[in-house]
Homo-oligomer: A and B are copies of this chain.
Amino acid sequence: MASWFRRQRPRVEAPTLTPRDTAAGALRVDLAELAPAPDSFLGQCAALHLVFIEQLTAAMANAPRVADKDALARVAGVVFERYRGFTAELERLQLDKTDVMTPHLDSVEEFKRRTQGGEWHEQVASAHVAIGFLTDFWIRLAAGLPGELRGRVTAALTGGDIDGPMHRILERAIAANPTLASRLALWCRRLVGDTMLQARSALVLHGDRSKDEAQIEPVFTELIAEHTRRMDRLGLTA
């Protein structure tokens, strides 16, 4: 297991990474130096968003309540809009969707298979954890895209609200059945490993292990901190 799995390690200041202001004003380290070229970035990101749509639609189909079906359909709609944003960039760059997405299909399919929940609450938790973590990740990775593309991709990645509605679905479900909390906490802990592996697969490493880790470490520390806050808000131990 790579060292960035040890989330207890204290936050490292990485001088080679550019901190930048975010909407929330928080300091975010980014992954600019490890970002793939636009074709690979957009291809993997688009393929992954199709998997998110599948996850959300499966959860929608199995939702016992109409209100949850409706909320999950709307979240899938937001993901679809983001997907449409990435494919619009592919068209702008005159890149062929098939060429750029095909190399990533096996990897995202495997990710989907490994994070597929057995029942409804797990399916919702999977989508919440995976979309939350990976969106945070791809926003940081977008720092490595050239100029205007970076801005438009970041806008696509942050368009609409996903975290809020997903949180409310789970919050209500846990309140209605408090015994869910410990089961979902375990499930989410399992998920985060596969989710991090999916994220890491997008990075273009230099091959110099210590240099790579020095760049990756602070970002994943921060991503795990955000994941932990996401779990905390639900009263789940991350």
Chain B residues within 8 Å of A58, by CB: 57
A66 interface residue per 8 A CB criterion: yes
Question: A66 touches which one: B61, B73, B97 (CB < 8 A)?
Answer: B97
Contact stretch, chosen from A80-88, A171-179, A205-213:
A80-88
A sample of 8 cross-chain residue pairs with beta-carbon separation below 8 angstroms, ordered by A number, consists of A53-B76, A57-B76, A66-B101, A66-B105, A70-B97, A73-B80, A76-B80, A77-B81
Question: A50 touches which one: B53, B54, B60 (CB < 8 A)?
Answer: B60
Chain B residues within 8 Å of A87, by CB: 70
| Cα-based distance from A213 to B60 in the complex (angstroms) | 37
A94 interface residue per 8 A CB criterion: no
Distance from A62 Cβ to chain B, minimum over Cβ atoms (Å): 10
In the complex, the count of this chain's copies comes to 2
Closest residue of chain B to A78 (Cβ to Cβ) is B80
Q: How many residues of A contact B (CB 8 A)?
A: 26
Chain B residues within 8 Å of A84, by CB: 74, 77
A233 interface residue per 8 A CB criterion: no
A98 interface residue per 8 A CB criterion: yes
| Cα-based distance from A66 to B97 in the complex (angstroms) | 7
> Are A60 and B54 also in contact (CB < 8 A) when A77-B77, A80-B76 are?
yes
| Cα-based distance from A81 to B78 in the complex (angstroms) | 11
> 16 additional contacts, CB 8 Å, given A57-B57, A77-B80?
A50-B73, A53-B60, A53-B76, A54-B57, A54-B61, A65-B98, A66-B97, A66-B98, A69-B101, A70-B87, A73-B83, A74-B84, A76-B76, A77-B77, A77-B84, A80-B80
